[in-house]
Amino acid sequence: MKKIIFFIFLYLLLTSKSFSENFKLEKIIGLNEPWGSSFLNKDEMIITEKSGKIKIINIISKEIKNIEHDINFVEYGQGGLLDIIYEKGYVWVSYTEDRGNSKTSTSIAKSKFNDKKLFFKNIFQAEPPIKSPYHFGSRLAIKDDYIYASVGERGKGMIAQDPTKHPGSIIRVYKDGSVPKDNPKFKNKNDWLPEIYQIGIRNPQGLTVSDFDGKVYMSNHGARGGDWFGEVKIGENYGWKILGWGGKNYSGIPIGPKWKPGFTKAIQYWVPSIATSAITIYKGYEFEEWNGNALITSLKDQSLRKIIFNDLSNIKEKIIFKGKIGRIRDIQIHPESGKIFFLSSDALWLMEKK
């Protein structure tokens, strides 16, 4: 009996190891604090660097082309050029905007695509501008005619509970910045700013649309613990800073309960913190067994995690790799092959099957 148990254990160990190593990681090219990325076509990606550069990278030839732009950005603490998204000849960027008097905001600008110079026009500015180097967010996602954007609470805590201010919320506007008339303000939230879609969020750096159920999903940093992955839900409240999501203040003082009725409940929590960053719902051929699963990247523990969440009463999580490419800032799925591309702190990486 002991021999049978031993061989079963050995088999499971070997098969789990072979699964975990059934891929390879390749460094495509070095970069300087890249933040956001988007595919232009099957061979090219457009990438932001926090310090202010926008680049086109050919993933085949590994050539880099710098694009000039006129964004009124400032690299300030955690801020700078943030996310970028391309669709049908246009580019949108979220960034830290210099609003004067040492105050900044998380802002969004749009430009017609040009591979020499981009001329941007603001379509959104988080109000009020704040003097703080922390928690800008910010990730972008396109669903149908809408731009969704995550806006951090700038380290101001309870501002995330004030719907008359943008920080600490999910924004939804049309692609030109105009406001949808079915946003919460026009339904049953008269005191909400017109662009706000959901409130109670701390520092959200992951946002994606699922091709499987059409829902928008996000990830969010907690403080000392309390990171989470969850669904974006119209007119709802994730509870920061009434809720602590299982985390504590950096001083060690408890923040609040993990969750309580009346607030949106996340799908998955992490305590201690893994510093969740970009996310996607996988769709592709390269890892087709992952279709419909969430892929969560992290900064602190430098991991890629897969979450199976089709049954919310039985969430399953697996660490795919950890500590192999450094802090992971962004994740993109190749539009044809399904191979996975990552931005780390200093490079663009490719993940594919062996």
Mark residue 157 as left, alpha or beta (left: phi above 0; alpha: psi -120 to 50; beta: remaining). Answer: left
Say how far apart CA 167 and CA 109 lie, in whole Å: 17
Supply 86's token pair.
Answer: 């391309």
Say how far apart CA 173 and CA 157 lie, in whole Å: 24
Q: What is the CATH number of domain 25-277?
A: 2.120.10.30
342 touches 348 (CB < 8 A) = yes
Given this model, what pLDDT does residue 21 score? 62
For 151-190, the pLDDT digits (tens) are 999 999 999 999 999 999 999 999 999 999 999 999 999 9
Give the rounded percent of residues in the chain with a pLDDT score beyond 70. Answer: 94
Q: 351-354 long-range CB contacts below 8 Å, 24 or more apart?
A: 351/23, 351/24, 351/25, 351/26, 351/304, 352/23, 352/24, 352/26, 352/286, 353/22, 353/23, 353/24, 353/286, 353/287, 354/21, 354/22, 354/23, 354/24
Q: Which residue has the tokens 């970028």?
A: 84
The whole-number average pLDDT for the span 28-57 is: 98
Given this model, what pLDDT does residue 13 score? 45
Alpha helices by DSSP H, listed for the chain, are 2-20
Question: Dihedrals φ, ψ of 42, to 5°?
Answer: -70, -15
* Sequence-separated (6 or more) residues with CB below 8 Å from residue 213: none
Tell me, yes or no, if the pTM score tops 0.75.
yes
Given this model, what pLDDT does residue 251 score? 87
Q: What are the residue boundaries of the structural domains of the chain, listed by start?
A: 25-277
Partnered with residue 289 across adjacent β-strands are none
Q: Which residue has the tokens 């702190």?
A: 345
Say how far apart CA 297 and CA 171 lie, in whole Å: 22
Residue 293 scores a pLDDT above 90: yes
Q: Where are the beta strands (DSSP E) in 152-239?
A: 169-174, 196-199, 203-209, 216-221, 227-231
Given this model, what pLDDT does residue 14 score? 43
Say how far apart CA 241 and CA 250 lie, in whole Å: 14
Say how far apart CA 320 and CA 102 lie, in whole Å: 42
Residue 3 scores a pLDDT above 90: no
- Within 10 A of 262 (CB to CB), how many other CB atoms are there? 9
Cis omega before residue 167 (within 30°)? Answer: no
The whole-number average pLDDT for the span 331-353 is: 97
- Find, among 262, 171, 280, 166, the residue nearest to 219 by Cα: 280
For 100-118, the pLDDT digits (tens) are 999 999 999 999 999 999 9
The whole-number average pLDDT for the span 48-56 is: 98
Eight-class DSSP state of 145: T
